[in-house]
Amino acid sequence: MAVDEGLKIELGKQGVLVTSLQELYNWGRRNSIWPMQFGLACCAIEMIATTMARYDLARFGAEVFRPSPRQADMMIISGTVTKKMAPQVVRLYNQMAEPKYVIAMGACAISGGPFKQGYNVLKGIDRYIPVDVHIPGCPPRPEALLDAFITLQKKIDGQHLTGEGRPRHLDAEAQGEFPVPVQGEHDLEPASNPGVWTVPVVIR
Amino acid sequence: MASSPYFSLAVLFVAALCFGLTPLALAWLWAQVYSPAKPNAIKNAIYECGLESKGDAWVQFRSAYYLYAIIFLIFDVEAVFLLPFAVAFTGLGLAACLAMLVFVLLLVEGLAWAWAKGVLTWA
């Protein structure tokens, strides 16, 4: 039973607040996203700058960087994910409590960036964990991270509490574990998590 | 009952209990209705720095560390005493100089003893 948007505004003018459980839930969640204190490379410097007074991430309720994955809601993959670091990143993501979100910050985190042709850099963290927002840039400016943050807030705002399209943490059937890759002979094994992303077949 | 002097206290106690327990109960109810728990082995791991823990936390440290620490501490304290001694050296009498000499020699003797015992040899 949804209340008409115009009616809600009209009631608001009269001092009557009308809301639904879903709206209240999403309002609370989107305004208290605690990121994990976790920096990988140079993008982390921009991430730190975003939290400082000039860009002030605290305006969005996200200044509380948590040093433990148990207390964090969001992981900012800020920088190059090497193949040595990728298992740790995936394990930390697994250890976060639901609901959890990921922002892939910078060219390296989304695709491998300038090191894409290298042998030891993961070509995008979205091979192993579901990424909610990708930000390009090398490194992205703090404004770009703020934009990603607002995008994530909008995404959370649009999530439904029940029904088919409800997010993973509300769905008992949805996959909760993301397998941690191991160091193989030449590459990480498996090369990707098929539930998240499949490696495209290159036709030569 | 309401005339009892402790009645207001009891009311406040119940209110305080509700203040703490209601959010917990609501969170539990929310988890039951909407948000199913999905624990797994990786999520429940004890160590939370991204690496897997290895071995036992109950390990023994070598006693050699302890000996080094205690010798370091003695000479650290000695340095604290030597500094004011050096600053006031020109104005000191013979008795004060002798007292300081005894102090330093005692520590040197301790060092010689530790050396003779082979404490300073890392093995």
Residue range A58-71, pLDDT digits in tens = 999 888 899 999 99
When pLDDT is averaged across residues B47-67 and rounded to a whole number, the result is 81
Give the span between the Cα atoms of A92 and A86, in whole angstroms.
Answer: 10
CATH 3.40.50.12280-classified regions of chain A:
32-189
Task: Flag residues of chain A having pLDDT under 50.
Answer: none
Chain A CB contacts of B51 under 8 Å are: 88, 91
Question: Is the bond leading into A99 cis (omega within 30 degrees of zero)?
Answer: yes
Q: Is the pLDDT of residue B37 over 90?
A: no
Q: Which of A128, A81, A141, A135 is nearest to A108 (CA)?
A: A81
pLDDT band at B62 (very low <50, low <70, confident <90, very high): confident
pLDDT digits (tens, 9 = 90+) for A88-99: 999 999 999 888
**Of B10-14, B34-38, B83-87, highest mean pLDDT:** B10-14
Chain B CB contacts of A95 under 8 Å are: 42-43, 45, 48
pLDDT of residue B123: 63
Q: Which of B32, B33, B38 to mutate to test the interface with A (most CBs of A within 10 A)?
A: B38
H/E element holding A182? strand A182-183
Query: Which of A89, A94, A172 has the CB atom closest to B43's CB atom?
Result: A94
Q: Is residue B14 situated within a structural domain?
A: no
Q: Is residue B106 situated within a structural domain?
A: yes
Range of the domain at B67: 63-117
Give how many domains chain B has, as a whole number: 1
Chain A CB contacts of B40 under 8 Å are: 94, 176-177
Distances (CA, A) of B17 to A31, A189, B1, B23, B28: 28, 52, 20, 11, 16
Look up residue B88 and give its two tokens.
């006031």
pLDDT of residue A31: 93
At position A42, the amino acid (one-letter code) is C
From the CA atom positions of chain A, what is the Rg in Å?
A: 19
Report helix, strand or coil for B41.
coil
Q: Is residue B27 situated within a structural domain?
A: no
Report the topology of domain A32-189: Rossmann fold (3.40.50)
Burial category of B61 from C-beta neighbours within 10 Å (exposed 0-12, middle 13-18, buried 19 and up): exposed
ipTM of the modeled complex: 0.75
Q: At what angle do helices A142-157 and A43-51 cross, to 10 degrees?
A: 70
Q: Which residue of A has its CA nearest to B40?
A: A177
Q: Is residue B93 situated within a structural domain?
A: yes
A89: contact with B, CB 8 A cutoff: yes
Mean pLDDT in chain B? 87
Q: Is residue B55 situated within a structural domain?
A: no
